[in-house]
Amino acid sequence: MSDLGPRYPTEKPDHPYVQYSFGGNLYGSYNSLFCAGCGYGIIGHIFTRVFEDEKLDHKLYPLIIGIGCYTQIVTLAHHKAQKITTLHGRAPAVATGVKMANPILKPIVFTGDGDCLGIGGNHFIHICRRNVDCTILIFNNSIYGMTGGQSAPTTLYGAKSTTTPYKVFEERSDAVKLALAAGATYVARTTVAHPRTLMKYFKKALRHKGTSVIEVITPCLTYFGSKNLDNLGAEDLDIPGNKMDTGGKMIDWIKRNTIRKNQAKFMDEDELFNRYVIGEFRYDTSKPEYSEVYSKIQKTAMGEDWK
């Protein structure tokens, strides 16, 4: 810490929703390390608030965090949260290990679109396939934020990034379709511009027994917004565009660029191009959970009859 002393008071704030963490306390600061206008502050707040509102025991919900800008959530998510930061893309593998070592725990995975669908794509597929009891929140800001704004598997068609200065010409990965195909049992998508829906889905995911995947669309104004116009994907229709270089402009764009699932079913592929369809896509309580089946296999191996 610099000899200027702490910029903010270090005592625990009275209000339970105020973000405060052991890491934040260590640095003598409650301010987040994110760019002003980044959506990750909203997510950290929602996490803290859901745990306060639901009076959940943090010891039962270890937070397993991948690598990206969002990893800095360790400095502001609830001070009691048990946090483990992992290697890039490996959070699902660590969460599987935690669950198998102590099945009463329910890991919560924080992962980015680059972390989960790029380097960690393989781990993501297999945790969904196994239906390991955990909640995975994928933060999709359409870019690799932490490393300087390279295009990610999720970057929208036509978007500019530091590695695609002209435009992205690849098809993007769809986290929801991938989770559904891989076998996750609760799958939803929402955005930080819909915080109440995000809280609702998060609470439902925490109650669900099996792999829950919630994709959360969130703004990176520094690398995605400032390089792109809000008519992204519709330039050819002569719709004028504005640069999305503030959090407010990006939140507006996210709201306009999302379509509810019920509306989407009346729209064709062209109308849905480059848009985010939001809603719940699967809620299946019938599929057996991995650690429960495994404990039965263990009993069989020990010669016990569990049927």
| Residue numbers at the binding site for ligand SF4 (CB under 6 A) | 34-35, 38, 40, 69, 141, 145, 220-223
In angstroms, how far is CA 190 from the centroid of its own chain?
Answer: 10
Residue 145 in contact with ligand TPP, rule: CB under 6 A: yes
- Residue 115 or 289: the one with the smaller Cβ distance to ligand TPP is 115
As a whole number of Å, the CA-based R_g of the chain is 20
Q: Which does 222 bind (CB under 5 to 8 A by kind): ligand SF4, ligand TPP, none?
A: ligand SF4
Q: Cα(175)–Cα(214) distance, rounded to whole angstroms?
A: 9
Q: Which does 34 bind (CB under 5 to 8 A by kind): ligand TPP, ligand SF4, none?
A: ligand SF4
Residue 151, judged by CB atoms within 10 A of its CB (0-12, 13-18, 19+), counts as buried
- Residue 96 or 142: the one with the smaller Cβ distance to ligand SF4 is 142
Site string for ligand TPP, 201-240 (x = CB under 6 A): -------------------x--------------------
CB of 170 to ligand TPP, least distance (A): 16
Neighbours of 297 (CB within 10 A): 10
Q: Which does 124 bind (CB under 5 to 8 A by kind): ligand TPP, ligand SF4, none?
A: none
**Beta strands in 28-78, from DSSP E residues, in sequence order:** 63-65
CB of 283 to ligand SF4, least distance (A): 30
Is residue 174 within 8 Å of residue 213, measured between CB atoms?
no
Q: Which does 152 bind (CB under 5 to 8 A by kind): ligand TPP, ligand SF4, none?
A: ligand TPP
Is residue 256 within 8 Å of residue 198, measured between CB atoms?
no
Q: Cα(170)–Cα(198) distance, rounded to whole angstroms?
A: 29
Residue 93 in contact with ligand TPP, rule: CB under 6 A: no
The residue whose two tokens read 């609760």 is: 186
- Size (the chain), residues: 307
CA distances from 148 to 36, 66, 113, 248 (A): 16, 17, 15, 21
β-bridge mates for residue 282, sequence order: 187
CB of 40 to ligand SF4, least distance (A): 6
DSSP code of residue 8: S
Residue 182 in contact with ligand TPP, rule: CB under 6 A: no
Residue 70 in contact with ligand TPP, rule: CB under 6 A: yes
- Residue 141 or 291: the one with the smaller Cβ distance to ligand SF4 is 141
Q: Which does 35 bind (CB under 5 to 8 A by kind): ligand TPP, ligand SF4, none?
A: ligand SF4
In angstroms, how far is CA 134 from the centroid of its own chain?
Answer: 13
Binding test (CB under 6 A) with ligand TPP, winner from 44, 114, 219, 225: 114
Residue 143 in contact with ligand TPP, rule: CB under 6 A: yes
